[in-house]
Structures are given as C-alpha cells and as structure tokens.
Structure 1
Amino acid sequence: MEVFEITSEEFEDGHEFNRYLSSEYTDLSNEDLYIISGVTELNQSKFEECLEDRGWEFEEEYGAIKKIENQYSQNRRAEAYLHFDSDEQLFFFYTDQRKTEEINGALIPLLRKIKGLHYLYISPNVLKAVTEEIAEENDSAKVTEFIAKRTRGTDIPAEERPDKERTINYYGDDGLRTLREVEEKYGVLPHILEISIPGELTFRMDKEGVFKLKSGSLRLMFEYVDECINQCLDIKEAYDSTRIDDVEITEGDVVSQSTPAKIGLEAPLEYDDIGPLQESLRGNEYALIDSHAERGSVYFSSKIYDQENNLFFNVRADSSGIRVFPRENRDIGTFFRFFETVQSAVDERAKAESINYPIQ
C-alpha cells in the first residue's frame, strides 16, 4: 500500500500544504489520513541526517514538503510526507498507510528511539479542554469513543474508590456526557478521544500527538490540531530555557552552572507523593541516585539517570513544584518523558515553566 500521491508543486510552508490537503484530500485518497506530530531540539539538517541513518530515503521534494520512504521489513515499505517547522522545531508526518503496520512499524519508533526528538505530548487535560471547546462551539458535537485513565498518585477527586488505578474504554454516541460522569465518579482523564461533528468532521486524537481524519473537513481538523499544539508548546519552551554554563569564579577556577526548568504543581506536593513518583520513574527506565526526602516542609532531591538516553539530570522539589537541572548534557526526550511521568504520578494539572535566572 503506497502513500497518496500529490501533484508536483511547491509548498512554501506547512500551512500551505495543509490548505492544499484540505481542498484536495478526498480526491487523493479513500483512506484515513494520519498526522503524527513530534518535537525536536535538532535543526532540520541534523534531523534529516538522523532519518537517513535509520534507513529513510528522501524521494521527492515539494518545497517545504518532502516525501520519505523506508523499507522497514523485507516485504513492507513505509511512506509519508514530512514537514519540518524550523521556527518551533516541530515536525509532522502525513500518511494514509496503515496504523497497525507502516505507522507503528516505522514512523512511531522514530519518536521513541532517536535522541533529540520526542512525540508531541498532549496532556490529558489539554485533550479534555479542546474537546470541551469543540462541544461549546458545536451543539451537535459528540464523543463517540474514548480511553480514559486514572493513574496512581493522582489528586483528581473521585467519588468511588479514589485509591484505585483505572482504565475505561467506552464506545457510544453519549461519550462526552459519559466522560464527564466518569471523571467525576472515578477521577479519570482521557488519553484517546474520537470526536464527531455530524455532517462536518469525525477525527481522533491521542496524548502521543497522533491525529486521524476519518471523514469530513480536514480544514476544521487542522484548526483543532493547531489548538492542541499551541497548548503544548510551553513544555518545549521550558526545556529550551534550561542550559549549562561554565562560569569563571576566579582566574583559572571554572564551575558549571545549571539553569533549570520548573514543573509547577497545582496541588501542593506532599511527602506521600514522593513514593509514587519514585516508583513511576523506576518503571519508566529512570534510576534514582542519592535521593533524599524530608517531611514537614516537604523537600525532595535526587540525581536521576535516564537509562533510555544514557543521561543524568538532577531534581529538587518542594511543595510548589519540581525543578529539573540538566547536568553535562540535555535531551528533549528525557525532559518530556519526565514531565509526563510527573503528570501521571503526581499532578495531572502540572505545568512546565521557564526559570530565567541561573541556580547552582
């Protein structure tokens, strides 16, 4: 199964390509369109070099859009169109190939295995907020499917057994009402949503930045994609604000100074939250070294080793938030994964914040 063919023309940027697809896609393909979004700290040249190192070939160029291909198994070939947004350091793959085959087999692994990039994490709160916005703007809008979860350590109120982790899979035209009900009753938040605006659009979105057009207006779906992205850029901005500087204290005496990012917490961190956070980190291939926690005026510190990316960083936490200090090297994937773990284990409403002054 080959990716849909586009006409040979030049696209100035991703917005122009999106406008082209919005008007032409129904004539180009009968299949669902997938848009896989990611974030990177690499420039475009280095990013493309990493793709080539993974066996991807650049087959055609249409201005700002490039067609890429990869023979990822003996009998299977993945294809997609790539747009790299140099301003925001975001990238997007467009394809109508199969989710269970070419996308999961070749595209999704790129977001997990290449250092310096990561899938565009769209938090459950953002998914819920965008869904409520759609419902407010469209009286006929329905959630027809969702997967919602309650994770260990969450502070979301729940009427029934708040100490239990849960996953709820739901199918039905009353999904939005049901989602609100199960959030109140069981304290769950959405990880995957399918939304239908009758006569206009049916699409799917998930917390790993994958959007799927099933039918209807691609132009309208792009509006909601942009809304999700805009609400997620604060995570990248917080990461971008971190740095490691060599500071000369006296002549010939240089020390390393680290500027952290802060993960602000809506609910104050309590001593009992530290255990679930440590457990979640260990479960996500982080090793904790020289950890220290104090009761009373809550304080937690640790050196953390990201086993997946072979990288160290430090954290210091008090009741108001968690500061993340880079050490010798930084990696955007490490920061995004850590932020997602904090939202999962401590506070789903946590927000990434920049700190504009150095702290040793």
Structure 2
Amino acid sequence: MSELDFLEAKDLSFSSESDFFQYITNDVDLDDVDGNINLIGSVSDYLTKEEFVQALDNGFETIWFTDDLYLLAAHTGPSSIPYYVYLDEDFPVFLTTANITDEMPGTIENFLQSDPNLGRFWLSMEQMELLRAEISREYDDLIIPFFTGHRSEYTEISAEKRDEIDRTVSYWGEDGRQAYKEMRTKYGVLPTNLVFERPNHFKFGIKQEGVFKHQGGSITETWKLYRSERTRKIRVKNAINSGGYDTDARSEQFEGRTISGSRPWAVEMDEAMSTDPLESFVPHISEEEMEFSVAGYKAKPNTPGFDAQLVDTNSYGSTKLRGRRKTIRVYPHQGSGIDQHFRIYNFVQDHFDPACRAVEV
C-alpha cells in the first residue's frame, strides 16, 4: 500500500462523502493501514469550495484529486505526512495517519489556526456529553475504557461532593461507562476526551478539538457520530456568519463607546444569567485550552450582565461581548475569525447555559 495513498483511492470516483466512507467501510482493510486513522473535522468560512482549495496550498502539496476528494502531503523536514480531505462548503473533513502528539500540531493544527477563514471542529463539554449519551443509548454492550472529565466551580451540573471545587479527572477501566456516570453524579464532571468500544465492532476516541481517532474495527460509527455533530453545528455557523466586521455595518454603543463597523450575532439563554458565572468569567475564559486573554471586563450584577473584550492568543484578533440578562451579543473585530467565535459559543454553553442557542441579531 502506498505510503501516502493509504486508502488506495487514486483513480476512483465518489459521488458523495457518504459514498467515500462506504468505500472505506467495504473495500479498505484498515488493519493493513500503518497507524490509526484520525478523522479531523474543520470549519470553512470561504464562500466556495474553490477558495478553500486555494487555501490548501498554504499548508499542503496536492498529490492528486478526483471530484471533491483530494490527497495532500504535509512536509515537515524529511517526512511527508498524508492527508485526505473531502470537500464540503461548510465542514471539510480530513483523514490522516498522522500522530496526534508529534505530527498533527505542526501540520493540520497549524493550517487551521493560521487562516481566519478556517477553524477547528470544536466540541464543548456539553456537546461531548450529548455525543456520549447518543451512542450509549444505541448500544447496550458499549464500553468506555478511557475518559477525561472536567468540572468548573460554577457549572450548571450539580455535584454531590464539594460542588464549589474545580476538578479534572482521568480514568482507565473497562467499567468506564458506569464510572463516568458515578463521577458525573458525585463530582459533577463533564467529558473532555472519550474512548468508545463495542467489542468485535469498533473502537474510537473523541477529543474536544474535533478529532475522531479510529482505533479498530469499522469506521462507520466514527463517521456517523461526526456527521450528527456537524448537523448541529451548521445552525451555529449560520448565526456566527450573520455577524461580521466591515465599514458599512451599523454602529452600536459598547461600554459608552461607539463600535463602528461591527455587526453582532448573539447567544440566547433560557434564563437570565446569574452572578456566579459573572464572577468566574475571567479565570474560566483565560484557561489555557480556551486560547483567549482578557483585555477588559466589567460585570454588571444588578442588570445582570457584563461587558468584555477578548483577544485571541493565536491570531491576536479582538472580539467584544455584551451580556444582558438572557442574551450575549458577540461583536467581531478586525482579525477575529470563525475558530474564535465557535470557542465563544462553546464557552457560553459550558459555563452559562447548556441549552443556549446561537441566533442572528
């Protein structure tokens, strides 16, 4: 099997993404592939597939393509790392045998972080929990042999023991499915990394960055779970894209100053925000995995609400937030991109209201 064309798809034609994954399921012996196959979701804010293809030149060499399927190579020193990408106008999906720890950071991760029109397929902890429940309902014999979980002090999830404590846990064990439920009830954690296994059928993991790691058996379940999450994400993306920054946008007041050229989108919540997440806003949005620093923050507990200015630690793009009662408006600024706005939405979902909705203003 070719080192780069590890799925042996050259000269084949696929009518759709479903057709491509059906080919992998039926015609590719994944046990013969050197290494695990990682399915990597992405978000594209380019207007057309053609513009996205042009952007690929900034991180990859195109080896061949057929219809919407491209085989790419990322060159790092003497090594060439293979990436397939199946084009989608909103969520292109990558497949690679690249190592998550050593090879992906300098290739696909760098590519998705360096372009404001591209973003990672971020999953909030609440969305991770939703996917866990989704696949657990489907299979009685499902095993969760590994998970990591996190709890923030002011999360909406209740905890029987010391609910005022921030905590992170890692768990290995064949009883992980039961152990997770116990830890959620007793310690109020939500998942940040999960491995699902159905003996003699499939085994794969999910990371919050939107990486689905196939580890054995059929890849069908991996793709189905990714696809279900993609369906939910399109509504969020459409709301984000209703906002923007341009010189023709209407001006609005923010902390007594006029925001010129910023057209907001918003996150709506079922109930008015309480004082607890307002007090913990700065430390939680500043956590390393959020990739934000706070340039300004003012809580308004009597409203209740807040004003904040966030700076992306990767792109240094700025975004302003204006929260009032049940609504948080998000004001893009020059340099802010789609990745940044998905992280903001996930933050609201994890720390303010798990049932929040991204909406057009």
TM-score higher than 0.5 here?
yes
The reply to whether residue 341 of structure 1 matches residue 343 of structure 2 is no
Offset, 1:101? 3.0
Offset, 1:169? 0.7
- 2:86 counterpart (76, 83, 86): 83
- TM-score, normalised via structure 2 length: 0.86
Q: Which range is displaced more, 95-104 or 200-209?
A: 95-104
Tell whether the 8 Å contact from 1:282 to 1:288 is kept in structure 2 after alignment. Answer: no
- Correspondence for 1:325: 331
- Correspondence for 2:66: 62
Task: Give the % identical residues.
Answer: 22
Q: How does 1:193-204 map to 2 (within 5 A)?
A: 193-204=194-205
Q: Which range is displaced more, 260-269 or 311-320?
A: 260-269
- Correspondence for 2:8: 6
- Correspondence for 2:295: 288
- 1:41 counterpart (33, 42, 45): 45
Compared CA separation, residues 307 and 210, structure 1 to 2 (3 A): closer
Q: How does 1:210-289 map to 2 (within 5 A)?
A: 210-244=211-245, 246=248, 258-266=262-270, 268-283=272-287, 284-289=291-296
- Correspondence for 1:314: 320
Offset, 1:23? 1.0
Compared CA separation, residues 102 and 158, structure 1 to 2 (3 A): same
Offset, 1:266? 5.0
CA distance in structure 2 between the partners assigned to 1:125 and 1:77 by the alignment: 36
The reply to whether residue 351 of structure 1 matches residue 356 of structure 2 is yes
- Correspondence for 2:254: none
- Correspondence for 1:252: none
SS in 2 for 1:21: helix
CA distance in structure 2 between the partners assigned to 1:337 and 1:130 by the alignment: 18
Compared CA separation, residues 304 and 192, structure 1 to 2 (3 A): closer
Compared CA separation, residues 10 and 273, structure 1 to 2 (3 A): same
CA distance in structure 1 between the partners assigned to 2:209 and 2:199 by the alignment: 26
CA distance in structure 2 between the partners assigned to 1:293 and 1:280 by the alignment: 14
Tell whether the 8 Å contact from 1:155 to 1:267 is kept in structure 2 after alignment. Answer: no
- TM-score, normalised via structure 1 length: 0.86
Tell whether the 8 Å contact from 1:158 to 1:185 is kept in structure 2 after alignment. Answer: yes
The residue identity in structure 1 corresponding to 2:14 is: F
CA distance in structure 2 between the partners assigned to 1:114 and 1:247 by the alignment: 23
Deviations 1:56-107 (A, max 9, x none): 11011122111111212x2322111111202xx1111111233333323322
The residue identity in structure 1 corresponding to 2:171 is: Y
- 1:51 counterpart (43, 49, 56): 56
CA distance in structure 1 between the partners assigned to 2:299 and 2:205 by the alignment: 41
Q: Which range is displaced more, 139-148 or 236-245?
A: 236-245
CA distance in structure 1 between the partners assigned to 2:249 and 2:166 by the alignment: 46
CA distance in structure 2 between the partners assigned to 1:96 and 1:331 by the alignment: 28
Compared CA separation, residues 247 and 121, structure 1 to 2 (3 A): closer
Offset, 1:172? 1.2
Tell whether the 8 Å contact from 2:123 to 2:346 is kept in structure 1 after alignment. Answer: no
The residue identity in structure 2 corresponding to 1:206 is: K
Deviations 1:190-247 (A, max 9, x none): 1111111122211111221111221222223322221122233332122122145727
Alignment RMSD:
2.6
SS in 1 for 2:98: coil
Unmatched tracts of structure 1, length 5 or more: 250-254
Q: Which range is displaced more, 182-191 or 31-40?
A: 31-40
Deviations 1:31-51 (A, max 9, x none): 322111110212333333333
SS in 1 for 2:101: helix
Offset, 1:13? 2.8
SS in 2 for 1:100: coil
CA distance in structure 1 between the partners assigned to 2:193 and 2:318 by the alignment: 32
